[in-house]
Amino acid sequence: MTIQEMQQKILQLKKKKDFCILAHSYVKREILEVADIVGDSFKLSKDVCSAPQGNILFCGVHFMAETAKMLNMDKKVYLSNELAGCPMAEQMDPEMLKFMREREPDRRVVAYINTTAALKAYCDVCVTSSSAVEIVRKIDSDKILFIPDCNLGAYVRAQVPEKDIKLVQGGCPIHASVTAEEARAAKEKHPEALLLVHPECIPAVVEQADYIGSTSGIINFAKKSDKKQFIIGTELEIAETLQYECPEKEFFVLSKKLICPNMKLTTLADVYNTLTDPDKNGFEIRMTREEAARSRRCIDEMLRLG
């Protein structure tokens, strides 16, 4: 079967079996092309609730499918590749967080959405990279513990200096691997280009950026800008998507290290196989109603404040 034939079959199968396919913008292009909803973490967790289909197939990483499940307990939610995890989401466990809360009970816990459902149960509010600054400003406390990404946390702290924000050591190994020297070299090589950077990058890279924002923020900025050249400081797929969608502009990657192996695990065949026989081939996300209710409180709070 060619890629195009497999894509055609997927389009037929998802209709026949009443599936909505959600895909994070970092997954491969051939998957983005067959998805119903494509976006960053915030858009996906917001739009999943209004999908009319009875079943959800998530192409992304495990914590995203868990979030989709807790918001849609009456639907079956599948992750297209069961091995697709996010190392950042695994960095803290509930015991560690409970210990920190006991030591400083007056701090509100703000969790990046890249956390497990088990950890979310002990957090006050979730944020995504596109909503973090706004939500931290709005939350009714001046003392915050921001977990687990210290780079996103440092960016939020710089934007909201009036609050006391405590950080932990954690973050995205992919974005955090880009060095300040790489950013300087990329700017020297492309002096006319604007540098657009995700806040999961280290502060020394973020400082050099012309624009800092989430995946969707970067895409929208580049599309609307009247500039012609951009250095893209997030997962490589975004530079490729932008090049497809804006052929009159030029996009350069900030670093070839910016490739998330977890997001790239899902293949078109995984999507096809799950849809062919979800019960036999699919990886279904399971949680009890009690677990979902505990974990989704901080997501509901994010959607309320964001």
Interface ranges with ligand SF4 (CB under 6 A): 61, 86-88, 114, 172, 174-175, 235, 260, 262-263
Binding-residue pattern over the window 2 to 41 for ligand 13P, x denoting contact by CB under 6 A: --------------------------------------xx
| Residue among 69 and 175 whose Cβ is closer to ligand SF4 | 175
Quick one: what does residue 67 bind among ligand 13P, ligand SF4, none, with the CB cut-off 5 to 8 Å set by partner type? Answer: none
Residues 197-256 that bind ligand 13P (CB under 6 A): 200, 214-215
What residue 255 binds from ligand 13P, ligand SF4, none (CB within 5 to 8 A, per partner kind)? none
Beta strands in 96-239 (DSSP E): 108-112, 125-127, 143-147, 164-167, 194-197, 211-212, 229-233
Task: Decide if residue 116 touches ligand 13P (CB under 6 A).
Answer: no
d(CA 146, CA 152): 9
Show the beta-strand stretches assigned E in the chain. 19-24, 37-39, 55-59, 76-79, 108-112, 125-127, 143-147, 164-167, 194-197, 211-212, 229-233, 250-253, 283-284
Instruction: Look at the block and give the residue holding tokens 């050099």.
Output: 208
Q: What is the dihedral of CA 233, 236, 240, 243, to 10 degrees?
A: 20
Taking the complex as a whole, how short is the minimal distance between the CB of residue 171 and ligand SF4, in angstroms?
A: 8
143-147 β-sheet, strand order: 125-127, 108-112, 143-147, 164-167
149 binds ligand 13P (CB under 6 A): no
Q: Which does 258 bind (CB under 5 to 8 A by kind): ligand 13P, ligand SF4, none?
A: none
Q: Report the site for ligand 13P in 119-138 (rule: CB under 6 A).
A: 128-130
Nearer to ligand SF4 among residue 48 and residue 275 (C-beta): 48
Q: Which of 38, 172, 202, 292 binds ligand 13P (CB under 6 A)?
A: 172
Check if the beta carbon of residue 127 is closer than 8 Å to that of residue 298: no
Buried-state track 226-242, b at ≥16 Cβ within 10 A, e below 16: eeeebbbbbbbbbbbbb
Choose among ligand SF4, ligand 13P, none what residue 87 binds, the Cβ cut-off being 5 to 8 Å by kind. ligand SF4
Residue 290 beta carbon to ligand SF4: minimum distance, rounded to whole angstroms:
27
For residue 208, give both structure tokens: 């050099």
Q: Binding partner of residue 301 among ligand SF4, ligand 13P, none, CB under 5 to 8 Å per kind?
A: none
Minimum CB distance to ligand SF4, residue 124 (Å): 21
Report what 262 binds from ligand SF4, ligand 13P, none; CB cut-off 5-8 Å by kind.
ligand SF4
For the record, the structure tokens of 283 come out as: 């990886």
212/263 with CB nearer ligand SF4 = 263
302 forms part of the interface with ligand 13P (CB under 6 A): no
Whole-angstrom distance, CA of residue 29 vs CA of residue 175:
20
* Whole-number Å distance between alpha carbons of 40 and 23: 9
Q: Which two tokens stand for residue 233?
A: 């400081």
Residue at 179: amino acid letter = T
Closest to ligand SF4 by CB, 216 vs 262, is: 262
Distance (Å, whole) CA 137 – CA 134: 5
- In the three-class reduction of DSSP (H, G, I as helix; E, B as strand; rest coil), residue 281 is classed as helix
CB of 173 to ligand 13P, least distance (A): 11
Residues in touch with ligand 13P (CB under 6 A): 40-42, 86, 114, 128-130, 172, 200, 214-215
